[in-house]
Amino acid sequence: MGKNGSGFDIAKLRVEPGSKVKLAKIDPASTPSWKADEGLADKEQAAAKLAELTQRLTALQSLLWAQSSERVLVVLQAMDAGGKDGTIRRVFEGVNPSGVRVASFKKPTEPELAHDYLWRIHQQVPANGELVIFNRSHYEDVLVVRVMDLVPEDRWRRRYRHIVEFERMLADEGITIVKLFLHISKEEQRRRLQERLTEPEKNWKFDEADLVPRARWNDYQKAFEEAIAETSTDRAPWYIVPANRKWYRNLAVSEILVKTLEGLKMSYPPAPPNIADLVIPE
């Protein structure tokens, strides 16, 4: 998808270690690296490209599962209605469920609160051959706890270092980490939340509690900016994906994952010896 839609520069979405993050300077409706070929609509061409990426991601995930030595962790974070569930449905629709798992982290239970905040996270990291998607994650413990003043500042600030070291340990042990922030505007969030009220088939999605973080929008934006800046590393990079346009969001996430998996340079295990001489009995 560069100028003719053939290549996508994911570096434009990546947060380089040590850089500052200002979400207000990133247009959530923008489409970095994307330009449709002349005469084709964005959505039309994007749909065709996404189909190609889905096919490629399916093949790479099958290879990951067969090789059973690499492990991949995808962290998804966003404001409420930011599109985490939709991204998971659309981007991973062709993969083999045997090797893909989604872990969702909601309000901690009493047993979880009785342990350190990373205890419940560590139990869900991928095993050999697995691709695990975190729908929310350990980052809630430097986001919601900060904005809602659930722990003292000196405590949540220490967690940046904890998280960097935790992810370094995971990477050292063979886990490839990709962290994605789906960036939507406040107006787009309002539109999506309103849809949950007005469209009967979406009523079940509405939770009045979602209005609480919306009222603290600016505080959450600041918390995300600092968390991303403090924890984007070479081994566990953050990507900020403009997500107002769902077609672009899905395309960008798919491209990031495909290029990440291709970078692992995986191969299928060797065939059993003498397989060419074997014949299945009738």
pLDDT digits (tens, 9 = 90+) for 141-185: 999 999 999 999 999 999 999 999 999 999 999 999 999 999 999
Does residue 225 have a pLDDT over 60?
A: yes
User: Span 111-131, mean pLDDT?
Assistant: 97
Class of domain 10-265: alpha beta
Identify the band that residue 8 occupies on the pLDDT scale cut at 50, 70 and 90. Answer: confident
Q: Return phi, psi of residue 178, to 5°.
A: -130, 125
Whether the CB-CB separation of 15 and 232 falls below 8 Å is answered with yes
Q: Give pLDDT, residue 37.
A: 64
Q: What percent of the chain has pLDDT over 90?
A: 78
pLDDT band of 220, cuts 50, 70, 90: very high
Banded model confidence at residue 205, pLDDT cuts 50, 70, 90: confident
Assigned token pair, 53 = 């990426």
pLDDT digits (tens, 9 = 90+) for 33-70: 887 665 556 788 889 999 999 999 999 999 999 999 99
* Non-local CB neighbours of 244 within 8 Å, separated by 6+ positions: 28, 29, 184, 185, 188
Q: What is the 3-state secondary structure (H, E, C) of the chain?
A: CCCCCCCCCHHHCEECCCCCCCHHHCCCCCCCCCCCCCCCCHHHHHHHHHHHHHHHHHHHHHHHHHHCCCEEEEEEEECCCCCHHHHHHHHCCCCCHHHEEEEECCCCCHHHHCCCCCHHHHCCCCCCCCEEEEECCHHHHHCHHHHCCCCCHHHHHHHHHHHHHHHHHHHHCCEEEEEEEEECCHHHHHHHHHHHHHCHHHHHHCCHHHHHHHHCHHHHHHHHHHHHHHHCCCCCCEEEEECCCHHHHHHHHHHHHHHHHHCCCCCCCCCCCCHHHCCCCC
**pLDDT over threshold 80, residue 223:** yes
* φ, ψ of residue 233 in degrees (nearest 5): -130, 170
Grade residue 11 by pLDDT with cuts at 50, 70 and 90.
very high
212, pLDDT greater than 60: yes
Residue 73 has phi, psi (to 5 degrees) of -120, 125
Write down the domain spans for the chain: 10-265
> What predicted TM-score, i.e. pTM, was given to this entire model?
0.92
Quote the CA–CA distance of 166 and 215 in Å, as a whole number: 32
Phi and psi at residue 274, to the nearest 5°:
60, 25
